[in-house]
Amino acid sequence: MKKLMIGLALGLILFFTNCLRPYAKDDDVSDYLTYQEIIMSSGKLIKNWTEKEKNEILDNTENHFFGIYLDVINQNVQSSYIASVKECMGNTANTDITLDVSYSVETNTKVSFSSSGSVSASGSGTISKIKAEASAKAGVEYSNATTTSIKEARKLSITVEPNSQYMVVTKGNLSVTNGIVEVYRFWFRIYYGAFEIVTLQSQYAELEKRAI
């Protein structure tokens, strides 16, 4: 009997430790998090949410008996982005120069997932279920096939006029679906955090010129 009581006590300690776990670092970090800029037509990426905003959303969610529950805040918000800016050599001479520039672009529709909070400690099985439910909310399929990055190397020759410089700007369009995710076991919220599904729709490169 004594051993049973000790076992139950340890189980409750571990259980409530998970319930009270604070927000953790981002899990399953995706390429889009390294982009220089993402401009959403409305809403914010979860990395830009304040703690106050997260807590207000969580405070307004309903309790549940069992399972995974998603509260979508932004659904399929159309967005533009700048992935990277590659500077080419400037021309300080008095005559034109020709440069050969190499770059690469994504050529497939790629789906990326990221999360924050204690859901990052929920195990691969729970994360897989969260990915599946979040993808369904975004109307996309999350699988190894759709998340594999396919990049195409490209080259071009540019003529740089005197006292000028060109930059290769990689940009495009994507959609963002994000919100709050909670995992319940018998009315107890054991994991919680934010989720985000980003679908890369297009990527291309543009030349931009500036004076030096």
Q: Cα separation of 163 and 125, whole Å? A: 57
Over residues 97-141, the pLDDT tens digits come to 998 888 888 888 888 888 888 776 666 788 888 888 888 888 888
Residue spans per domain, the chain: 23-211
Tokens 């159309």: give the residue: 78
CA torsion angle 138 126 19 55 (round to 10): -10
Q: pLDDT by residue for the chain (212 residues), tens digit each?
A: 444 444 444 343 333 333 333 323 333 445 898 999 999 999 999 999 998 888 888 888 888 889 888 899 999 999 999 999 988 888 898 999 998 888 888 888 888 888 888 776 666 788 888 888 888 888 888 776 677 778 889 888 889 999 999 899 999 999 999 999 989 999 998 888 889 999 999 999 998 888 88
Q: Cα separation of 12 and 212, whole Å? A: 66
Label the pairing between strands 66-87 and 37-40.
antiparallel
The b-or-e profile of 75-97 (16+ CB within 10 A means b, else e) is: eebebebebeeeebebbeeeeee
Q: Cα separation of 208 and 114, whole Å? A: 32
Q: How many residues does the chain have?
A: 212
Tell me the pTM: 0.77
